[in-house]
Amino acid sequence: MSPAATRPTLDQIRSQFPALASSTVFFENAGGSQVPQVVADAIRDYLLDSYVNLGAGYAESRRATQTVDEAHDFVNLFMNGTGTGKVILGSSSSGLIRMLADCYAEVLQPGDEIVIGQSGHEANIGPWVRLERMGVRVRFWNLDRTTQSQPICELEELLNERTKIVAFVHVSNLLGEVVDVADIARRAHHVGARVVVDGVAYAPHHAIDVAAWDVDWYVYSTYKVFGPHMAALYGRADAIAELTGPNHFFIPCDYVPGKFELGCISHEGCAGLLALGDYLAFLAGTPGQPVTRETVTAAFEVAASYERPLQARLLDYLSRQPGVRIVGPAHGGPERVATISFVHDRVSPPEISAACDAAGIGMRHGHMYAYRLCEGLGIAPDPGVIRVSMAHYNTPDEVERLIAVLDGVLG
Ligand SMILES: Cc1ncc(COP(=O)(O)O)c(C=O)c1O
């Protein structure tokens, strides 16, 4: 934050999000966040003012084209990829990673190897496992059940000159632990492999920095970061150049991101993405000012400053409850985000979520598509875990409301 900027109060933050006026406690942010008014307004305005196809010469089409182009540039700035790579937009992270894996299917050879982190969401596992059909060898980087993380020494043992891709999650959507992306990328690059990082559960909490981490591919879902139901895939320029892309034969190979965006993306969603910049400027304490990289980092510092106490309070409470097993790190701090999962030795996840539902607290239980992670930890994917996922706009009072419900159901 610049010295002149002041952190907005929690009330000011919440007033930006119309949905937060309801009495529901939104604790399922890892499933999807709420949107600020500016984002919703921009989507509506686009639909009413510029809802035409791109690339023609008339005014509305020029406006629409500019919105879509600027949205790509904004998301690239958001990820700190300006100058090193490009952003490809799509409808979901699952779809974008599947598209990417299909592109790699054209260049990988039988005998090539892919290393996959077991703690990932299936979105960054299944598409790579499918490539086994063409003779690619898939090797899992498994979890250690005791530490609940993937030991880096195990990765070292899996990497060799045949490794072409290392696919892993930056933050597991169950564990909440932040892994050292830059370190993993460096080790993968050492053997000439590309990294494909799932940043979906990281992106709502901290500023993405693809340049600092030196990643080849990084994906996140914009609908979990206060934006429209879309997703973004950053590709480093040299990684992009190796692939053809799924688009039609007459689309030039150097037409990026067009060669990867088959058909239309959501143009109105692009308007919403762009408007998120205004919200970030507000959060950073610089409303109305141009959105720069500093705006993005300052906004996430503010977000993290509001999340940390919520996380600490809930972890502290859970760690004192007999019978509770926190799934993921039991301590707060920078190596964790406010996505907190747990199981109880007597009360089942469905019973706990039913009590929360009845109290107007929106959260859920399940494996959340981190199916293999649950198996690796010895947790039955069905019913899975209870997950409470908080965002910067949640309040200490909401955490107390949850704790009161948990007291009742676990007590
Ligand atoms: C960690 C993680 N990766 C990937 C995904 C899939 O995202 P999408 O719904 O955009 O396909 C999710 C969705 O919950 C997720 O939490």
Q: Which residues line ligand 1 (CB under 6 A)?
A: 30, 92-94, 121, 123, 169, 173, 198, 200-201, 221, 231
**Would residue 308 count as lying in a domain?**
yes
* Whether residue 242 is found in the same domain as residue 139: yes
- Strands 385-389 vs 339-344: parallel, antiparallel or unpaired: antiparallel
Q: Which residue minimizes the CA distance to atom 9 of ligand 1?
A: 92
Burial 33-63 (b: 16+ CB within 10 A, else e): bbbbebbbebbeebeeebebebeeeeeeeeb
> What's the Cα-to-Cα distance from 229 to each of 19, 142, 269, 345, rounded to whole Å?
16, 31, 7, 36
pLDDT 10s digits, 287-299: 999 999 999 999 9
pLDDT 10s digits, 356-372: 999 999 999 999 999 99
Which residue shows structure tokens 């914009």?
222
Calculate how far, in angstroms, residue 280's C-alpha sits from the geometric centre of ligand 1.
22
* Whether residue 102 is found in the same domain as residue 25: no
**Would residue 120 count as lying in a domain?**
yes
* Whether residue 58 is found in the same domain as residue 120: yes
Angle at 83 between CA 102 and CA 270, to 5 degrees: 65
250-253 contacts at long range (C-beta below 8 A, 24 or more positions apart): none
Q: Which residue minimizes the CA distance to atom 16 of ligand 1?
A: 173
Q: Amino acid letter at 405?
A: V
Beta-bridged to residue 385, according to DSSP, are 366
- Which tokens hold the place of 278? 């205004």
> What's the Cα-to-Cα distance from 148 to each of 154, 176, 180, 337, 366, rounded to whole Å?
14, 11, 15, 15, 18
**Would residue 225 count as lying in a domain?**
yes
Structural domain containing residue 199: 41-276
Q: At 194, which CATH number?
A: 3.40.640.10
Residue 321: how many other CB atoms lie within 10 Å: 16
Last residue of one domain, picked from the residues 249, 276, 303: 276
Q: At 375, which CATH number?
A: 3.90.1150.10
Please tell me the predicted confidence (pLDDT) of residue 203: 98
**Would residue 283 count as lying in a domain?**
no
Please tell me the predicted confidence (pLDDT) of residue 332: 82
* Whether residue 181 is found in the same domain as residue 204: yes
Last residue of one domain, picked from the residues 243, 276, 309: 276
Which H or E run includes 259?
none
**Nearest atom in ligand 1 to 231's CA:** 10
Residue 403: how many other CB atoms lie within 10 Å: 15
* Whether residue 104 is found in the same domain as residue 204: yes
> What's the Cα-to-Cα distance from 112 to each of 154, 158, 164, 235, rounded to whole Å?
19, 13, 6, 21
- 3-state secondary structure (DSSP) of residue 12: helix
* Whether residue 73 is found in the same domain as residue 151: yes
The CA distance from 92 to 8, in Å, is 31
Residue 255: how many other CB atoms lie within 10 Å: 12
pLDDT 10s digits, 265-315: 999 999 999 999 999 999 999 999 999 999 999 999 999 999 999 999 999
The answer to whether 57 touches 242, Cβ cutoff 8 Å, is: no
**Would residue 281 count as lying in a domain?**
no
Beta-bridged to residue 234, according to DSSP, are 87, 218
Burial 366-386 (b: 16+ CB within 10 A, else e): bbbbbbbbbebbebebebbbb
Calculate how far, in angstroms, residue 370's C-alpha sits from the geometric centre of ligand 1.
10
Regions of the chain with pLDDT less than 50: none
Sequence-ordered list of residues with C-beta below 8 angstroms from that of 15, at least 6 positions apart, any chain: none
Structural domain count, the chain: 2
The CA distance from 140 to 125, in Å, is 10
> What's the Cα-to-Cα distance from 156 to each of 10, 140, 190, 214, 395, rounded to whole Å?
44, 12, 10, 18, 42
* Whether residue 231 is found in the same domain as residue 351: no
Angle at 34 between CA 331 and CA 290, to 5 degrees: 95
* Whether residue 122 is found in the same domain as residue 242: yes
Calculate how far, in angstroms, residue 233's C-alpha sits from the geometric centre of ligand 1.
12
**Would residue 2 count as lying in a domain?**
no
The answer to whether 166 touches 188, Cβ cutoff 8 Å, is: yes
Please tell me the predicted confidence (pLDDT) of residue 2: 62
What is the secondary structure of 69-86 as a DSSP string? HHHHHHHHHHTT-TTTEE
Last residue of one domain, picked from the residues 217, 249, 276: 276
The answer to whether 308 touches 335, Cβ cutoff 8 Å, is: no
* Whether residue 267 is found in the same domain as residue 225: yes
* Whether residue 319 is found in the same domain as residue 210: no
**Nearest atom in ligand 1 to 94's CA:** 11
Calculate how far, in angstroms, residue 46's C-alpha sits from the geometric centre of ligand 1.
26
**Would residue 299 count as lying in a domain?**
yes
**Nearest atom in ligand 1 to 91's CA:** 10
Calculate how far, in angstroms, residue 4's C-alpha sits from the geometric centre of ligand 1.
37
* Whether residue 262 is found in the same domain as residue 122: yes
Please tell me the predicted confidence (pLDDT) of residue 5: 75
**pTM for the full predicted model:** 0.98
* Whether residue 367 is found in the same domain as residue 236: no
**Would residue 105 count as lying in a domain?**
yes
